[in-house]
Structure 1
Amino acid sequence: MKTTVLPFTSFDDITLWNNLKEGDEKSFSMLFERYYADLVRYGNSLSPYEEKVQDCVQDVFTDIWVYRASLQGSVVVKAYLLSSVRKRIARLFERDHIFRKTTSTDSIAFLLEFSVEHELIDDDYATKEKVIHLNKLLNELPSRQKEALYLRYNQGLTVEQIAEMLDVNYQSASNLLHRGLLSLRKEWKGAFSLFLLLSSSSF
């Protein structure tokens, strides 16, 4: 009986993760290629220094490979990587005396500009105008609310994972999301509906 070998691209995160824990370089490379761009983009939302962000992301992967034998097996890989990048950047800020004597991530400003225009299916002018207005409202939200919305609807993290990343309890993370969405609805009822529609279709 012939055995079908699945391509590496079809392997889920946890399979690749457990393989790299056993020293499989191909699995490690696959995870690197799968998430590098996302992690750099997220890192750039926390720091304006692009080269340092890239170094931080590469350092995260280097540590994963060096300390692979001690890694936990039951992790949500994407959430783990995003959280690791955030912590690495916080340490970078502390080293550069931006945070002075603390490594807390509370003071990190979320710099990413939301842009959901590419999610449009048609060229309808009125719809484009609505999306531009939605982007404006999103980018006027407080930094923590904006980051929580990004992690939830762009990166697909759960409330529990967001709470862990932002070093807050579940209720605080839930409140950040609720207040962000409530602000959108308060400023423009159509923004709330349009944001959820675009999120459900694209994220």
Structure 2
Amino acid sequence: MPFSNTYLLDEPSVPQLWDELRSGDKSALEAIYKLFIKDLYKFGMSLHADDAIVKDAIQDIFIDLWQYRARLCGDAAVKQYLFKALSNRIQKELGKDARRSKLNWLTDEDKSAVISVEDEIVLRQTETEITGKMKQAMTLLPLRQKEVIHYLFFEKLSYEETATLLGINIRSTYTLAWKAISALKKAITILVFILVTG
């Protein structure tokens, strides 16, 4: 996307840029793009390791931002808004528009949903040591589980914020996190075994 260098990145605040974008200032779109492109690309690749799909999805998001600028919410959390838009776009590209219906079983009735405090503490304590292996293991997770792990442990969002971004209730978010963490632990154990015995 060809942009000029109108804004320096340490100048207007993100909310100010967002307001200027909503008012039709194309250079504000440029500045938002520059501020978030690296995070968006990294996030997109964590969901689906196809460079072309991720880049196209990011391009489409910014085209939509400009096209529908007048309809944008004034008090949006911009980074979270962009992440959610990118996730939706990638899932649409992968033909997963029906993803929400597939998640209907994740309801408040699922009593096994609550992740144990011990599991969460253990994961956070060892996070630094296993980050590299976790990234490898994450490629094996379903897209929705990749998303919840990215929000919780890489973006450091709360379960409440993550639930809002995913458009599901908090218990469903716990369920996704629990399933993802369980799968990651299993995958990491296998990876460690391969490294040790390889």
Higher relative contact order (CA 8 A, sep 6+): 2
Displacement of 1:169 after TM fit?
0.7
CA gap of 1:18–1:156, structure 2 versus 1, over 3 A, is farther
Which residue of the partner structure matches residue 90 of structure 1?
Answer: 91
Which residue of the partner structure matches residue 40 of structure 2?
Answer: 39
Q: Matches of 1:157 and 1:173 in 2, distance apart?
A: 12
Residues 123-202 of structure 1 mapped to structure 2, 5 A cutoff: 131-133=128-130, 135-136=132-133, 140=137, 143=142, 147-177=147-177
Q: TM-score, normalised by structure 2?
A: 0.62
Q: Matches of 1:13 and 1:36 in 2, distance apart?
A: 14
Q: How many residues are matched?
A: 155
Residues 52-91 of structure 1 mapped to structure 2, 5 A cutoff: 52-91=53-92
Q: Percent identity?
A: 27
Q: Please tell me whether the aligned partners of residues 40 and 57 of structure 1 are also in contact (alpha carbons under 8 angstroms).
A: yes
Q: Matches of 1:133 and 1:157 in 2, distance apart?
A: 19
Q: Please tell me whether the aligned partners of residues 8 and 31 of structure 2 are also in contact (alpha carbons under 8 angstroms).
A: no
Q: Matches of 1:52 and 1:183 in 2, distance apart?
A: 25
Which residue of the partner structure matches residue 99 of structure 2?
Answer: 104
Gaps of 5+ in 1: 1-5, 108-129, 186-203
Q: Please tell me whether the aligned partners of residues 79 and 157 of structure 1 are also in contact (alpha carbons under 8 angstroms).
A: no
- What is the RMSD computed on CA atoms of the aligned residues? 3.5
Which residue of the partner structure matches residue 3 of structure 2?
Answer: none
What whole-Å deviation, never above 9, does each CA across 1:26-48 have from its counterpart, x for those lacking one?
A: 21111100111211121112223
Q: Matches of 1:104 and 1:172 in 2, distance apart?
A: 14
Q: Please tell me whether the aligned partners of residues 152 and 159 of structure 1 are also in contact (alpha carbons under 8 angstroms).
A: yes
CA gap of 1:135–1:89, structure 2 versus 1, over 3 A, is same
Q: Matches of 2:76 and 2:66 in 1, distance apart?
A: 16
Q: Which moved more, 1:59-68 or 1:134-143?
A: 134-143
Q: Please tell me whether the aligned partners of residues 47 and 147 of structure 2 are also in contact (alpha carbons under 8 angstroms).
A: no
CA gap of 1:30–1:133, structure 2 versus 1, over 3 A, is closer
Displacement of 1:83 after TM fit?
0.3
Q: Matches of 2:92 and 2:180 in 1, distance apart?
A: 28
Q: Which moved more, 1:23-32 or 1:40-49?
A: 40-49
Gaps of 5+ in 2: 1-6, 103-126, 186-198
